[in-house]
């Protein structure tokens, strides 16, 4: 029986276990699991939904902080040296290693978010701060990404780099025919696993977990033998940016999203008794409170139209300054905080970020429609056949406003052509579209061909995820 080693680099990928993603592989192959001890805290987080059979044959490896930091910097180098391959690479370079003008804009955005205005001597302090560290970080990365220096760096350091001994030990012991690795394309393992696999005669199959990973994270230095991606758009990016053979790229999606296509057929119980519109925030800083205030005023000014309608605000849990930021909506009577996020902010307990009992799916599927910037949640909304007013307006002195994000993210191209999405180019147009959507019940107008539109971004599954993966693997080994 052929052997497969599945590497799950963090507990984030526990969803693959929860959704029995590898159930059919286990019936047909000898499957073992390799887990990053640092990210799984020495043991798997057990929940009732997890099949213990899925984690029976497990091994652990460790990456110390120094190794992790070194590889992350190396991945930055790969991105910058190849920045012409993707406009998102260029943008990430601007954010991570900003010039003085971009640094001032970034600091202005942070200052506005925290205090509402700029403190005394802001500009002078910001310039001095830039030349204390960010300037030299930018200078160092520009030197290291010089073609001649980078070529020497690859030859003298990367080519002779000692790879993780834990991973090598496990691969040597198991001698797998195939190593499956779940990824966001931005972990040290993406560098190590293809090389280790090659040393022991194993093939590699990377399962790309998210929408933007191929076009915004970095370029693979050691390429996998096979790649699993979301849809036709990601496939095009994998070919053009990652320089991979189209015959070695497969539509896999991820098990959580595949499961949505089953869940959307069911009537999930609403978390609220009243009607609501879902407003979801971004991880990047922008002034979403301003548009929330206008929406709050709109509902209050037309009580005969909106009646008991509420807007449920769900900020991104990784948003900077989140704990003080969400307190700003206390001034609004028609805006309420998502209950799970409210508990998280109150207790700072990560358990409220867990998606137990399909909490998020209930929240999403029972909203009338949604408002927010473009994120992966946009694809989730479309799968559940929800319309979205997406923010696409500028903010002064910012490089993280909705308009900039729309322009610089390669994976957002063509998304504005999807029939269920409405693009708002100004903050006032958000209110206009909101009123129009609600008063005319346009949220009920869903194009029958919406799935065909989604298919470009996320390939619509025809079989269960576990059977899809089995079918692909049979072609690989």
Q: Domain-by-domain residue ranges, the chain?
A: 3-66+161-253+461-476, 74-159, 263-454
H-type alpha helices, 56-202: 65-81, 87-96, 100-115, 122-130, 134-144, 147-156, 165-174, 188-199
Looking up tokens 């043991």 gives 43
pLDDT at residue 10 in the model: 92
Report the C-alpha gap between 432 and 387 in whole angstroms.
15
Residues of the chain with pLDDT under 70: 41-54
List the one residue out of 374, 384, 398 whose CA is nearest residue 316: 374
pLDDT at residue 52 in the model: 37
Q: And the tokens for 148?
A: 């001649």
pLDDT at residue 48 in the model: 39
Q: And the tokens for 171?
A: 């691969």
Whole-number Cα distances in Å, 330 to 317, 324, 337: 18, 11, 9
pLDDT at residue 162 in the model: 84
pLDDT at residue 67 in the model: 85
Which helix H or strand E contains 236, and what residues bound it? helix 232-240
Q: Do domains 3-66+161-253+461-476 and 263-454 have the same CATH topology?
A: yes
- Measured between its terminal Cα atoms, the distance across the chain in Å is 11
Q: And the tokens for 444?
A: 């009920």
List the one residue out of 205, 149, 152 whose CA is nearest residue 176: 205
The rounded Cα 232 to chain-centroid distance in angstroms is: 18
CATH topology of domain 263-454: Rossmann fold (3.40.50)
Q: In what order do the strands lie in the sheet with 276-280?
A: 335-337, 310-314, 276-280, 370-372, 388-391, 421-424
Report the C-alpha gap between 463 and 156 in whole angstroms.
47
The three-state secondary structure class of 69 is helix
The contacts of residue 46 (CB under 8 Å, 6+ apart) are 52
Strand partners, 390: 372, 423
CATH 3.40.50.1220, applies to 3-66+161-253+461-476: no
pLDDT at residue 157 in the model: 86
Dihedral sign from CA coordinates of 127, 133, 137, 143: positive
Cα angle vertex 222, ends 9, 174, to 5°?
55
Whole-number Cα distances in Å, 80 to 85, 88, 97: 10, 11, 10
The three-state secondary structure class of 268 is coil
């Amino acid at each position: 029986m052929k052997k497969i080693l599945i590497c799950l680099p963090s507990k984030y990928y526990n969803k693959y276990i929860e959704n029995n993603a590898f159930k059919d592989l286990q019936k047909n192959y000898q499957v073992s699991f390799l887990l990053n001890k640092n990210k799984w805290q020495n043991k798997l987080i057990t929940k009732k939904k997890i099949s213990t059979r899925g984690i029976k044959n497990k091994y652990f490896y460790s990456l110390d902080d120094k190794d992790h930091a070194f590889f992350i910097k190396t991945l930055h180098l790969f991105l910058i040296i190849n920045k012409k391959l993707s406009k998102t690479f260029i943008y990430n370079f601007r954010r991570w290693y900003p010039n003085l003008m971009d640094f001032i804009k970034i600091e202005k955005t942070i200052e506005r978010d925290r205090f509402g205005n700029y403190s005394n001597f802001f500009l002078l302090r910001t310039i001095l701060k830039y030349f204390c560290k960010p300037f030299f970080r930018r200078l160092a990365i520009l030197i290291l990404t010089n073609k001649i220096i980078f070529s020497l760096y690859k030859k003298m350091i990367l080519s002779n780099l000692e790879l993780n001994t834990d991973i090598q030990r496990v691969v040597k012991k198991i001698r797998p025919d195939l190593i499956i690795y779940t990824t966001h394309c931005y972990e040290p393992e993406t560098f190590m696993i293809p090389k280790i696999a090659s040393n022991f005669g194993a093939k590699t199959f990377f399962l790309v977990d998210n929408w933007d990973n191929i076009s915004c994270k970095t370029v693979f230095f050691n390429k996998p033998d096979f790649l699993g991606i979301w849809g036709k758009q990601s496939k095009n990016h994998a070919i053009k940016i990652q320089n991979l053979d189209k015959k070695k790229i497969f539509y896999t999606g991820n098990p959580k999203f595949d499961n949505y296509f089953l869940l959307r057929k069911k009537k999930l119980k609403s978390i609220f008794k009243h009607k609501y519109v879902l407003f979801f925030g971004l991880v990047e800083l922008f002034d979403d409170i301003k548009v929330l205030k206008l929406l709050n005023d709109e509902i209050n000014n037309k009580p005969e139209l909106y009646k008991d309608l509420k807007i449920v605000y769900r900020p991104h849990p990784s948003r900077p300054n989140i704990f003080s930021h969400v307190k700003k909506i206390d001034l609004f009577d028609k805006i309420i905080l998502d209950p799970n996020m409210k508990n998280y902010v109150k207790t700072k307990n990560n358990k409220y970020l867990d998606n137990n009992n399909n909490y998020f799916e209930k929240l999403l599927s029972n909203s009338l429609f949604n408002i927010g910037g473009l994120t992966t949640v946009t694809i989730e909304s479309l799968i559940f056949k929800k319309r979205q007013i997406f923010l696409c307006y500028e903010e002064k002195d910012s490089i993280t406003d909705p308009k900039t994000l729309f322009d610089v993210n390669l994976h957002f191209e063509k998304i504005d052509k999807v029939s269920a999405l409405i693009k708002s180019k100004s903050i006032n147009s958000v209110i206009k579209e909101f009123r129009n959507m609600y008063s005319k019940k346009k949220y009920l107008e869903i194009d029958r061909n919406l799935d065909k539109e989604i298919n470009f971004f996320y390939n619509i599954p025809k079989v269960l995820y576990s059977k899809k993966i089995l079918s692909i693997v049979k072609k690989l080994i």
